[in-house]
Amino acid sequence: MTSPSDSRDLQAQLGSLTTEAFRPELADIDRLPTLELARLMNGEDTSVPTAVAERLPEIAAAIDAVAERMARGGRLLYAGAGTAGRLGVLDASECPPTFNTDPSQVVGLIAGGPKALVTSIEGAEDSAELARTDLDALALTRDDTVVGISASGRTPYAVSAVEHARAQGALTVGLSCNADSPLAAAAEHGIEIVVGPELLTGSTRLKAGTAQKLVLNMLSTITMIRLGKTYGNLMVDVRASNDKLRARSRRIVALATGAEDAEVERALAATDGEVKPAILTILADVDGPTAARLLADSDGHLRAALAAAAR
């Protein structure tokens, strides 16, 4: 149970945060027509990409550091509570179908565990020990990266995750939406996307949540580009696990090679439906096993494998 003095201290902390600021000019928005409310909210959201753009150098530096470690076999681990934690889990869960990563390569940790994805787990975000326990269960290595995510930049679970990971020698990134946050200070790479006060005071699932989603998109997507998971802007490591993705695989092979449908089908059949080696069999005129070997020798980078085949 929080004491009255502790509660007052916490209120004072929240009151000092940009994301928690009250905007008197919006005090009567509940009286506005729905269309006007929608326009107002949409206008608020347009400021988010600009705020992200101001931190692109920090984002790029973090991505290069993450990619370097993942190329050595490291993992990308997100840690957050509430909305921030759910965004991390969402980004991690989309990597296997998009980039054919093993589910263990990009992992989202949320305070309170999987149940917290759909139900509020009271007190979990305040537990620094829980963050340490969750990370210890994953047996961190020096090649791993832990990204703490917190709109306020002060959530104990996220801050503790970064502090613990850094003490273990892992790379650390702190993503928040307030300047001079404890989370950014704890991490090697602090990324602070200051989006300003929310439309609804303290509802950081709005602009702050959008900003965090945009940055996480960059972290995972550009890292995967650096790891050779794409060929140009084509997702050549897509996992064809359903009819839509199988159709997408055929289309990607066709776009990358200019081959006709019959040749695309033969290439995919020769490579067990894997897009990247299928492209290589067509462009380098090699068989499936040779394509697989060239890709293995090139650490999965299709352009490097094509260059090796041409020598």
Which residues are marked as active site?
94, 125
Partners of 147 in the beta sheet?
78, 173
For residue 77, give the DSSP letter: E
Instruction: Give the pair of three-digit tokens for residue 35.
Output: 């269309």
Cα angle for residues 252, 257, 263 (degrees, 5° grid)? 90
CA distances from 100 to 78, 91, 104, 173, 190 (A): 18, 14, 11, 24, 29
Give 143-176 as a DSSP string.
T-EEEEEESSS--HHHHHHHHHHHHTT-EEEEEE
Spatial CB neighbours of 55, under 8 Å, sequence gap ≥ 6? 191, 192, 193, 215
